Chains A and B, each alone.
Chain A
Amino acid sequence: MRFALFGAVVALVLGSPGPADAHPHVWVTARTMMQFDKDGRVTGVRHTWVFDKFYSATALQGLDTDLDGKYSKAELEPLAAVNISSLKDFGYFTVVKAADAEVALSEPVDYLVEEKAGVVTLAFTLPLTSPIDARLGTLELDVYDPSYYVAFSFAADTPITFAADAPKGCAAKLPQAPKEGNPNDLSESFFSQLGPDSNFGATLSQAARIECAG
């Protein structure tokens, strides 16, 4: 019997399924601003993604072409273009759902990459192919990489905001309070409270519910 147990242990360790395969190399703190038209319908989402400093350093490597120690708009433009064009193959890591059905997204617009103290931020707007009235039903917004290579988490403060044209009473609800803010700063208390019931993994996927009551 002992060896059967032994074999089972090996199987478990080697075959570790599911989240143990999760292997993020890039961490992103996401903020999203909901965009509206004049009639108060949702027209798109504007993402602002702040990267961890390792990915930031890699992304910036070799881009300071004039070697002035700064990253100008022109120097960062190629990075933004590459990011945006290759994001397409990954569905922009964004899923918008209305009435449990996925909403079609158009090509991103207004994208830019910024650098501040070695940290890279990517911002872009994903228009909905046709506007949706969030007053008629809840919208779901999820930002995540199913392959776990990129670990997304919504920012702790103002994870989801609403543009000026938003109808009154719009609010976003995240499944649980976000555990973190700055990707470069994760508090010790966060880890100490991680127990068997922790839902840290849920930060990989954290569909926000967007409701515009009234």
Chain B
Amino acid sequence: MPRGLRQALMGLLLAALCAVLIAPATEGFAQGSPFGVPGAPPAAAPVESGGWFDALGQRFLAVQQRLHRQLGDSIETLKTERAAAGMLVLIALSFGYGIVHAAGPGHGKAVISSYVLANEETVRRGIVLSFVSAIAQALTAVALVGLLAILFNSSGARITGWANTLETASYALIAGLGLYLLVRELLALFRRGSALQHDDRHAHGHHAGHDHDHNCGCGHLHAPPADALKQPVTLKSMAAVVAAVGIRPCTGAILVLIFALAQDLFWAGVAATFVMALGTAITVSALAALAVGSRDFALRYAGAGSGWASTIWTACSLGGAAAIFLLGAVLFAASLGPARPF
């Protein structure tokens, strides 16, 4: 393949990657207008164009609404003689609801995808992260409703107040995690950069008595990026992702839990919550796998050890970390807005 064409393709790919990384960060803006401008009346309807994407979005909304309602119906059926059938329907509906519901903000979709993209994570790790985070969110929701509603008979407003506080904390943690990853990547980049410079000086014979650390071993532009950029994959940073995402209870789960409780069927709500979490995890896993898959595909295409591969790694690492930070910061700011009436 001619060099020019290859470079053009790589440029395209990098642009696509950038879009992946930047897009999730805007999600807070999309949903945050009443938070951002307290007291401002709602703006004119943005829903007007009739593109296929809108149609998809609308279909998606409708499906979510239907599942939500049928979920309620199936919980009510549990009180009738058709309880067994109701339970099966409840499980199926919760699963479906979880799968479509994950597309909303706050379910870790963007954070986990960006994280696995930025770090040298495998598809398998992305899937594990998705599932553990989703289960953690379910546990948080069950614990919150169980504690406040059952033990203290707190009001719904109080429970949602707590949920909002946890949500704010979650977004703050996500921003913090992003910042940490960003600083780490920048430091690594800086170290590589200075090592390069050092080598240049070598080449030009400027031996000015620098005492650089030669253990770095990554001073060549054409060094294999897999070795050069390998970050120690720590269980710690994965745990940080789970904690940051997992302390935010899913609002949908809270609604289902309280509704089930009102029917004296709390256990059914708990079951629904965990099945929903499985559905959510599947969507998030798929997106994380897609992110890792496209990155790895690009790397393979670029050729191991090529300059392009190195550029892709840098773009992924910095972009992913920046996206996590931005996403967390935007959602954090949005979550500080006025309390919702309902």
User: B342–A60 contact, CB under 8 A?
Assistant: no
B42 contacts A144, C-beta separation under 8 Å: yes
The residue from B30, B31, B259, B290 contacting A9, defined by CB atoms under 8 A apart: B290
CB distance from A20 to the nearest CB of B (A): 4
Q: Which of A150, A197, A202 has the most CB of B within 10 A?
A: A202
Are A191 and B62 touching (Cβ within 8 A)?
yes
Which chain B residues (84-116) contact chain A, with CB distance < 8 Å?
101, 103-105, 109-110, 113
Interface-located stretch among A40-48, A83-91, A162-170: A83-91
Contact of A95 among B41, B63, B154 (CB under 8 A): B41
CB proximity of A139 to chain B, nearest CB, Å = 15
Contacts of B339 in A (CB 8 A): 86, 89
How many A residues are at the interface, by size bracket? Answer: 35 or more
Instruction: Evaluate contact between A79 and B42: CB separation under 8 angstroms.
Output: no
A4 in contact with B12 (CB, 8 Å)? yes
Chain A residues with CB under 8 A of B52: 196
Whole-angstrom distance between the Cβ of A175 and the nearest chain B Cβ: 10
Contact for B58 among A1, A6, A145, A199, CB less than 8 A: A199
Question: Contacts A54-B68, A59-B156, A200-B61 known; A21 to B27 CB distance under 8 Å?
Answer: yes
**Residue contact A16 to B58, C-beta cutoff 8 Å:** no
Instruction: Indicate whether B24 reaches chain A with its CB closer than 8 angstroms.
Output: yes
- Is B255 a contact partner of A3 (Cβ separation < 8 A)? no
Q: A137 near B: Cβ within 8 Å?
A: no
A residues with a Cβ closer than 8 A to B are 1-4, 6-11, 13-27, 51-55, 57-63, 78-79, 82-84, 86-91, 93-95, 102, 118, 122, 142, 144-151, 183-186, 190-191, 194-202, 204-205, 207
Q: Which residues of B contact A (CB under 8 A)?
A: 9, 12-13, 15-17, 19-20, 22-24, 26-27, 30-35, 38-47, 50, 52-66, 68-69, 72, 101, 103-105, 109-110, 113, 149, 153-160, 251-252, 254-256, 258-259, 261-262, 287, 290-291, 293-294, 297-298, 301, 337-342
